[in-house]
Structures are given as C-alpha cells and as structure tokens.
DNA sequence: AGTTTAGTATTGGATATCCGATATATTTAT
DNA sequence: ATAAATATATCGGATATCCAATACTAAACT
C-alpha cells in the first residue's frame, strides 16, 4: 500500500471549495512555501493542486492580509498574519457549525479499518 | 437567544463550496422540497441560499442522477437515488479525509459553551 | 559555462457557487 | 373572484476554484 490513503473523487457532486480556508489552516500549523502547501493539500485531497490553482489562491490570501509572503532565493514562505489567525478562528467556527454533523455521524466509521 | 446559533462569516477566506455535497447529505436524511432544503442549509450556514442558488444546484443534481424530483402541486420533493447514495458514501470518505483533522482539533471546543 | 531541476508565477478556459431581480404556477385568504 | 402568499424557476453578473500550458528565476549539477 502507499504511504497515504487515496480518497476517490465522487461523481455525484462537486467537491471543490474551501481551498483558501484549508490553506490558512495548514499555514496556521506551520509556515510553509507553496510546494509544501501543495504537498499537504495533495495528501488530504488525493491530488496536488496545480500551480495555476495554488499561486493565485496564495496571492489572494496575501491581498486579503491573511498571510505574509517572504521570498528567499527560490522559495516563498507563507506565514499566517494576526489578522489571518483571528479570521481563521471565525472560519473554523463557521465550518464546524455547517459540516460538523457529517463527521459526528460519518467520520468515526473510517478510522477503524 | 435565537433558536439556532448564528455563525459569522469570516473575511479571511472564502467559505463557499460543497453546496451540492451538503444538499445530498441533507436529502439522504429525509426527502425534502426546495424550501425545506434551503431552511436546513440556512440553519447550518447562517444564511438561506437564494432561489438563484438552490434551484440550479438541485437541477444539476437531478441531471447527474443523484436525486429524483417529484412535483406535486406547488412543491417539488427531492429524493436521493441509489446512484446518489453510492456517490454520497464516496463523497463523505473524501470529505472526512480532507477536512477531518479540523474537527478533531477544533470541533470539540465549540460544543462546551 | 551550460544544463537540469525546483519553485514560483501568469494566462486562458471551464464549472460551481453565490446574489439580486424577475417571472410563473399553485394554494390560501379575503 | 381577487388578492396575497408560497414554492419553484430562470437570468445575468460576480468570484473562487480547478486544470493545462507557458514562462521565469534561482539553485544544483556536470
């Protein structure tokens, strides 16, 4: 088996969305560059976002003031701003309120394999 | 206080997405008409989707074969198809794999108020 | 020096999700 | 019968999210 599980994409409904939210969540755990963020997203979503997806998203988050960019040589490190951390708190509340029941009812079933 | 909590929308990131997934989840619990589905979404998201949001989404799900429509008088009742139920299972797996950690780390904190 | 690789970035095109506005049909109320 | 309310539906416009393709820069390699 591979190192991480490989979630299949359903054909019943669209699973896009919440990319910027998930980026903020990941960056809140650890400041990372674009490739590292893409890798973390790939682990969770099954497919790594392409450059045309991830870099515009990061640019928007910078414009919103949610993350800082610091370029050093070849890589750009993204760090959560204070503003971003406050917003993320609200976003997590919103997210858990909207989707929490799905985990409570379904989430526990997949861990016991 | 009001009957349901009122999640605030963050300004740090976009919280759109997964509408069709959430509709399938709701309909899997109970066949409903458009207004009932909108009301359930409103409870979870804080704002009810407008007709311009919900009806095109339901139409797409019907075209995909995930739900059936049955019009009776003024209302149209939406029911999950077998195909939709299979897809929803996959979608839940995908969703929990992608976002589960956020609940595990954050979700429990909001229930104790 | 020259080549390759890694990381970043933009462009163009597609789709889903959002709203506000408008419209229609059915039911209920007057 | 008429009016009001309910439920459904479409249209136009905006934005986020997705990909494929292309391009650029800095580092590493030969």
ipTM of the complex: 0.91
- Asked if B14 lies within 8 A of A21 by C-beta distance, the reply is yes
pLDDT, tens digit, 9 for 90 and up, residues A45-71: 999 999 999 999 999 999 999 999 999
- Name the residue of chain B whose CA is nearest to A87's CA: B12
Report how far residue A83's alpha carbon sits from residue B11's, in angstroms, rounded to the nearest whole number: 10
Q: By the 8 A CB rule, do A58 and A36 touch?
A: no
CB of B18 within 8 Å of a chain A CB? The answer is: yes
Options 1.20.20.10, 1.10.10.60, 1.10.10.10, 2.60.220.10; CATH of B19-111: 1.10.10.10
Closest-CA residue to A7 (of A50, A36, A44)? A44
Tell me the CA distances in angstroms from B36 to A88, B31, B62, B75, B78, one per residue in order.
30, 9, 17, 10, 10
Which residue approaches C12 most closely, CA to C1'?
Answer: A52
Question: Over the Cα atoms of chain B, what is R_g?
Answer: 15
| Average pLDDT along chain B, 113 residues, taken 10 residues at a time | 68 98 98 98 97 98 98 97 98 97 80 43
- Segments making up each domain of chain A, as ranges: 19-111
The answer to whether the Cβ–Cβ distance between B44 and A14 falls below 8 Å is no
A75 touches strand C (CB under 7 A): yes
């Amino acid at each position: 088996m591979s190192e991480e599980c490989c979630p299949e994409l359903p054909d019943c409904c669209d699973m896009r969305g919440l990319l910027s939210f998930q980026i903020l969540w990941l960056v809140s755990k650890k400041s990372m560059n674009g490739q590292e963020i893409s890798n973390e997203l790939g682990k969770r979503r099954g497919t790594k976002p392409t450059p045309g997806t991830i870099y515009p998203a990061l640019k928007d988050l910078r414009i919103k003031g949610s993350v800082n960019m610091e370029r050093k040589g070849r890589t750009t490190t993204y760090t959560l701003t204070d503003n971003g951390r406050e917003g993320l708190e609200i976003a997590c509340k919103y997210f858990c309120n909207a989707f929490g029941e799905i985990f409570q009812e379904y989430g526990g079933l997949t861990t016991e394999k």
